[in-house]
């Protein structure tokens, strides 16, 4: 990493964390403390309001924000790979967002890097078994419901082709057996259930918050069931 990239990286770190000590920077970039002090001074000299709080570390003045407009070609390639995986493993609601995110990244790349990224994008492919299905578009809504603890109303077709309507409280999503599974408290069955996302025929995210205090995390659920 050259010095300019490192200074930018330090800036993003300071923007994303409350306090960072000189020692943490030295360890992160494999530098001596002396060089970290020089870098902090360099940031100050170009007008970035980095200040020091005794016992805590360095911090950037509240309200100061520089949008992360610079990406290296390696970072852009990594994101392109992730987007390719998203196309295969996620649904339309996710790929729509990852498309626009990648377009924003491409827009701020240097022309040479943009050209490299375009060449690379035609040389990456992921193959999945033919029975995998990511044709619906509920993953994004499910993600938001999990974060905001919103109840979901779903129309679901189970393994016996029985169609039911349920109110569920989603605690997490898991990808296994080539399918996304939604783990949720089911008010119809009054227990935790594993719903295959592709078998959800209709999904409505309500503004109603969870009625139950959930005792499981998604990791604990997978260990137990």
Partner DNA sequence: TTGGGAGCGATAGTACCAAA
Partner DNA sequence: TTTGGTACTATCGCTCCCAA
> What is the binding site for DNA (CB under 7 A)?
3, 6, 21-23, 30-35, 37-41, 52, 54-55, 57-58
Instruction: Please identify which residue in the block is written with the tokens 């490192």.
Output: 6
Q: What tokens does 30 get?
A: 């494999």
Closer residue to DNA (CB): 26 or 141: 26
Closer residue to DNA (CB): 3 or 110: 3
Do 20 and 56 touch, CB atoms closer than 8 A? Answer: no
Q: How far is the CB of 9 from DNA (least distance, A)?
A: 12
Closest CA to 11 of 35, 47, 56: 47
Q: How far is the CB of 54 from DNA (least distance, A)?
A: 4
Q: How far is the CB of 40 from DNA (least distance, A)?
A: 6
Do 185 and 225 touch, CB atoms closer than 8 A? Answer: no
Q: How far is the CB of 36 from DNA (least distance, A)?
A: 8
Closer residue to DNA (CB): 7 or 196: 7
CA 77 to chain centroid: 17
Cα–Cα distances (Å) from 64 to 16, 48, 74, 96, in that order, read 12, 8, 27, 31
Closer residue to DNA (CB): 23 or 158: 23
């Amino acid at each position: 990493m050259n010095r300019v990239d490192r200074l930018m990286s330090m800036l993003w770190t300071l923007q994303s964390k409350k306090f960072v000590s000189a020692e943490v920077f030295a360890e992160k970039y494999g530098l001596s403390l002396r060089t970290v002090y020089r870098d902090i001074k360099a940031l100050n000299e170009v007008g970035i309001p980095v200040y020091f709080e005794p016992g805590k570390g360095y911090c950037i003045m509240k309200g100061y924000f520089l949008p992360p407009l610079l990406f290296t070609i390696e970072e852009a390639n990594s994101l392109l790979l992730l987007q390719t995986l998203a196309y295969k493993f996620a649904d339309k609601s996710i790929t729509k967002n990852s498309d626009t995110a990648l377009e924003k990244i491409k827009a701020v790349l240097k022309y040479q890097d943009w050209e490299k990224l375009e060449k690379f994008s035609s040389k990456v492919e992921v193959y999945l078994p033919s029975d995998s299905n990511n044709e619906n578009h509920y993953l994004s809504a499910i993600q938001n419901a999990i974060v905001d603890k919103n109840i979901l109303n779903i129309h679901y077709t189970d393994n016996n082709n029985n169609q039911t309507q349920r109110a569920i409280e989603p605690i997490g999503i898991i990808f296994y057996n080539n399918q996304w599974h939604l783990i949720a408290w089911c008010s119809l069955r009054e227990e935790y259930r594993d719903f295959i996302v592709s078998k959800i025929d209709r999904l409505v995210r309500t503004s109603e918050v969870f009625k139950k205090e959930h005792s499981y995390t998604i990791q604990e659920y997978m260990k137990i069931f």
